[in-house]
Amino acid sequence: MSCTDPPRVVIVGAGPTGITAATLLARYGVRSLILDRYEQVYPQPRAVHLDDEVYRIIHRVGIAEDFATISRPALGLRLLDPQMRVLAEFDRDPARAPHGYPQANMFDQPELEALLRANLARHPLATLRGNVEVTDVVGMAEGRIRISYTDRADGREHAVDADYVLGCDGANSVVRERIGSKMRDLRFEQRWLVVDVATTADLGQWAGVHQVCDPHRAGTFMRIGDVRYRWEFRLRPGESVGDYGTLAALDPLLSPWTAHAKLDELELVRVAEYTFRAQLADRWRCGNIFLLGDAAHLTPPFVGQGMGAGLRDAMNLSWKLAGVINGTLTPAALDTYEVERKPHARNMIDLALMVGRAMTAGGRIGNMLRRSIIPQIHRLPRLRERVVDSRTPPLHRSALIHRSGKPGQLAGRLCPNVIDSGGRRLDEVLGNGFALVTTQVPSAAERRVAERYGAALHVVSAGSELAAWLRGGHANAAIVRPDRTVMRSGHDAGALARLLGRYLVAVDENQGAGVQ
């Protein structure tokens, strides 16, 4: 493939979702062009949290070690009443890392985006073009798609044709508008003040996230890095960001956390007003055009899953798209993207809405209920553990997720990223394709099936952590997809191996092409 070859995929939007999708596609051997209206990383901090499931995607694109240098684990959650008294404190065990990384990670989004872009530059199959405005996306003959865009520097108009388009262009998505998809309002809208401060002063605060449960002034406090802090406060009617443009004006809000520091020791990095909304696009696909990230869903930030949801979209779709392009998957695999991701995104939005309303609803009666109920949750081990558990719901049943409906099943959930006997994480052992994980010694026929379909065959010892995970799911074998989601589990490794043939094109039939 020469440098003059046209892209197979055009990605509109070079935020974290778009860059992640382009990087993953490049690692699978798929050429893409990313178009964005900004030349450089958008400088304002927005997202500040990702969990360990999303951290695995960060590892997948190749920047896990670099991300560790700019991120800070959050050690739990503290719920406060309007008088700043602790209602409950939920500590997170830093040693518990089923996916190989801290369960909650704080970071500065511009720093993460800089890492993603620097890493993308190492992949010649991905081309990023900034300072352009996408103006149209139109279907052409034989399934091709024409993307029109304007160079913002000289006003010249350009067009490029591709087989697939990924709309990663945010809440005001041009791609979404062009395919006729509409955002469904989930009836949540609140105005919040977001404040970022830098200081080398020791604020003397607990290292977890602080949530103030107050219908009149709900708030959140988080330490983002060694010298960076983030506050979010719900704005009252009649208030605006203009009322809080200086540290002196912000002092009544910040003082419960900054009493140990002088105002001249604080640097106001940014103060902004955001309207938190909950919305979900009614459809995420039109032919070979797909929506990802904020173009497909908007979630309030109360559980820190907004940016992560976009990276999950990119991970879910990229290997399927690459498989179809490379000939190792049938086009029907693309039908599973929305089927799997849309219910998951809705579940995370609903969780954020529940947390947001628990923080802000009910007036004086709500405060009384919180004072009586929240401490009881803290005393119940299972509920206390669930508050700090980073697991998200399993993916919905699809052609590539065989869920039986039985409790405790593994299908739809991520396989744990355990350390094997050689000291490597499972993600490194399995590679980037399908895998069959089993406690059974595979037969020669099963090995031939796995080899024929380019799947890794990983045998685990009966006493290992991975074997215990299989037993917990009433299985001794599982098909693990390229995104590390369990496709199906069971007791017959041979039957699972043969199942791969229903969905994968044999490597020899594809003349050696495949997901690399």
Residue-wise pLDDT for 226-271, tens only, equals: 999 999 999 999 999 999 999 999 999 999 999 999 999 999 999 9
Phi, psi of 384 (to 5 degrees): -60, -40
Confidence at residue 501, expressed as pLDDT on a 0 to 100 scale: 77
3-state helix, strand and coil shares in percent for the chain, rounded to the nearest 5: 35, 25, 40
Can you give 57-124 as a three-state secondary structure string? Answer: HHHHHCCHHHHHHHCEECCEEEEECCCCCEEEEEECCCCCCCCCCCCEEECCHHHHHHHHHHHHCCCC
Structure-token match 């003397």, residue found = 204
With cut-offs at 50, 70 and 90, classify the pLDDT of residue 388: low
Query: CA 407 to CA 390: how far, in whole Å?
Result: 19
Confidence at residue 184, expressed as pLDDT on a 0 to 100 scale: 96
To the question of pTM greater than 0.85 for the whole model, the response is: yes
The answer to whether the beta carbons of residues 133 and 149 sit under 8 Å apart is yes
Q: Which residues of 415-434 are buried (b: 16+ CB within 10 A; e: fewer)?
A: bbbbebeeeebbbebbebbb
Query: CA 512 to CA 509: how far, in whole Å?
Result: 8
Confidence at residue 366, expressed as pLDDT on a 0 to 100 scale: 57
Give the Cα-Cα-Cα angle 369, 373, 376 (nearest 5 degrees). Answer: 160
Query: CA 21 to CA 411: how far, in whole Å?
Result: 24
> What average pLDDT does the chain have?
90
Query: Which of these, 350, 297, 416, 311, lies nearest to 50 by C-alpha position?
Result: 311
Q: How far is CA 58 from the centre of its chain?
A: 9
Instruction: List, for residues 406-420, the tens digit of each pLDDT value.
Output: 777 899 999 999 987
